[in-house]
């Protein structure tokens, strides 16, 4: 099968959960299909990252675009420019006449049997009519992320801005689901949420692509005897739900843990930490690493992994990676939603600061309990959650998306609303 795969970014370096999920699925699909990968790319992208894409696609087409910083005056101006745009900011900032023209040219060649839109963003640059069946690969329920931002915002102004973006994202997400022949969700919970939020989406088949983990890459490492107890969070630190989570943990949960375990160190591992996250490193016992080449040494050094997310959607690869590495996990319910696992057997769940702190302290102080949870979690992921199985579900969805009349999309027509940024 010949597939045109549309994305907002290159997959390399593999420093985000969504990139990892797509990479591992595509790595298996590329053995059976010819994939053309079309995405934006920074003009200064390392040559090895461009060349490395050959592992997952037969052909790479890139549109130059510099990633904008998510802070500072320029970012503020960019946000203000989008306040009157009915397209949500998270999508609208990727509108590109050059990307849209390239998509049209590729499709006009008649060389494709399927189109895959990876995440919601590329849909804003797609034509209204498609000559072949199309699939939307959703890694989150995007509107739910913005709703949770609004629910947790501290200031009145931020709450109003998030509410505005939430409403716009609901509209765009609803219309976009209807624009495709099939939607791919990453959990049954996400599928149910789509149906609850957007009843019309029941007209579009929704397949579930389960989350996987590379259990050969992530393997247990013995704890160093006498090592300082360490709590670790891993994740991209320019993603707002992760930023909110680590700030919440450091300010409201960590002091409660230190009342029982004063020697504990909290390590935040992930690319592009914001100024607020970097500031945490000025506090004793908190480390901020920034981007690391290999997260495994940090998992090996951890005593407990935490996922204190109050905002988010989809499924958290960081939890499966910690489980595969044989490390105990404490998460909020939101942090672990959509993932399998029995509370108190495979991981611990807690949704308020005292309960979260008590769960972490219990694992820090009870080695036997921690080891039993680590073993059960590792067994769970190695037995049931391999990326090859996830790719097989994706492959079936490609085959099941039958040839249909060219799709007419109410969502894609949003391209004509508001100014298109030349690129």
Q: HEC states along 275-324?
A: HHHHHHCCCCCEEEEECCCCCHHHHHHCCEEEECCCCCCCCCHHHHHHHH
The CATH class for the domain spanning 2-212+388-416 reads alpha beta
Let me know how long the chain is.
Answer: 423
Q: What is the pLDDT of residues 34-67, one digit of tens each?
A: 999 999 999 999 999 999 999 999 999 999 998 7
What 3-state DSSP class applies to 373? Answer: helix
Report yes or no: 215 and 325 within 8 Å, Cβ to Cβ.
Answer: no
Q: What is the pLDDT of residues 265-324, one digit of tens each?
A: 999 999 999 999 999 999 999 999 999 999 999 999 999 999 999 987 666 889 999 999
State the chain's mean pLDDT as an integer: 89
Which one of 3.90.1300.10, 2.40.10.220, 3.40.50.2000, 3.40.1280.10 gives the CATH number of domain 230-384? 3.40.50.2000
Q: In what order do the strands lie in the sheet with 286-290?
A: 286-290, 265-269, 230-234, 304-307, 328-331, 348-349
Intrachain domains 2-212+388-416 and 230-384 with the same fold: yes
DSSP, res 343: B
- Determine how many CB atoms are found less than 10 A away from the CB of residue 89: 19
CA–CA gap between residue 71 and residue 153 (Å, rounded)? 17
Whether pTM > 0.75 for this model: the answer is: yes
Q: What is the pLDDT of residues 171-222, one digit of tens each?
A: 999 999 999 999 999 989 899 999 999 999 888 999 999 889 999 999 998 8
What separation in angstroms does the CA of 74 have from each of 66, 68, 165, 169? Answer: 13, 8, 19, 23
CA–CA gap between residue 137 and residue 35 (Å, rounded)? 15
Of 16, 315, 25, the C-alpha closest to 186 is 315
Parse the chain into domains and list their residue ranges. Answer: 2-212+388-416, 230-384
């Amino acid at each position: 099968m010949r597939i045109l795969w549309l994305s907002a970014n290159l997959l390399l370096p593999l420093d985000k959960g969504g990139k990892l999920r797509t990479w591992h699925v595509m790595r298996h699909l590329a053995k059976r299909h010819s994939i053309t990968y079309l995405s934006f790319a920074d003009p200064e992208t390392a040559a090895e990252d461009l060349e490395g894409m050959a592992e997952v696609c037969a052909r790479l087409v890139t549109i130059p675009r510099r990633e904008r910083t998510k802070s500072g005056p320029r970012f503020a101006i960019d946000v203000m420019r989008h306040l009157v745009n009915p397209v949500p900011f998270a999508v609208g900032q990727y509108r590109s006449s050059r990307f849209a023209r390239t998509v049209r040219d590729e499709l006009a060649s008649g060389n494709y049997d399927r189109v895959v839109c990876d995440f919601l963003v590329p849909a804003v640059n797609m034509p209204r009519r498609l000559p072949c069946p199309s699939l939307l690969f959703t890694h989150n329920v995007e509107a739910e992320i913005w709703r949770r931002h609004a629910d947790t915002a501290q200031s009145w102004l931020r709450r109003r801005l998030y509410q505005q973006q939430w409403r716009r994202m609901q509209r765009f997400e609803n219309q976009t689901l209807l624009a495709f022949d099939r939607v791919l969700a990453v959990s049954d919970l996400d599928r149910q949420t789509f149906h609850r939020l957007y009843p019309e989406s029941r007209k579009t088949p929704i397949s579930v692509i389960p989350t996987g983990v590379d259990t050969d890459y992530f393997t247990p490492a013995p704890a160093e005897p006498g090592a300082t107890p360490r709590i670790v969070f891993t994740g991209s630190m320019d993603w707002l739900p992760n930023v909110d989570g680590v700030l919440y943990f450091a300010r409201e949960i960590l002091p409660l843990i230190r009342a029982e375990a004063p020697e504990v160190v909290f390590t935040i591992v992930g690319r592009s930490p914001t100024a607020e996250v970097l500031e945490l490193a000025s506090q004793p016992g908190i480390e901020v690493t920034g981007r690391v080449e290999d997260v495994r040494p940090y998992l090996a050094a951890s005593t407990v992994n935490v996922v204190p997310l109050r905002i988010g959607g989809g499924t958290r690869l960081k939890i499966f990676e910690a489980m595969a590495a044989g490390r105990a996990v404490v998460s909020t319910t939101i942090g672990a939603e959509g993932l399998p696992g029995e509370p108190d057997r495979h991981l611990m769940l807690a949704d308020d600061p005292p309960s979260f702190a008590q769960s972490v302290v219990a694992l820090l102080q009870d080695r036997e309990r921690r080891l039993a949870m680590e073993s059960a979690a590792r067994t769970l992921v190695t037995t049931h959650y391999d990326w090859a199985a996830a790719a097989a579900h994706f492959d079936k969805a490609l085959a099941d998306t039958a040839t249909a009349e060219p799709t007419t999309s109410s969502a894609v027509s949003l391209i004509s609303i508001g100014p298109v940024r030349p690129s």
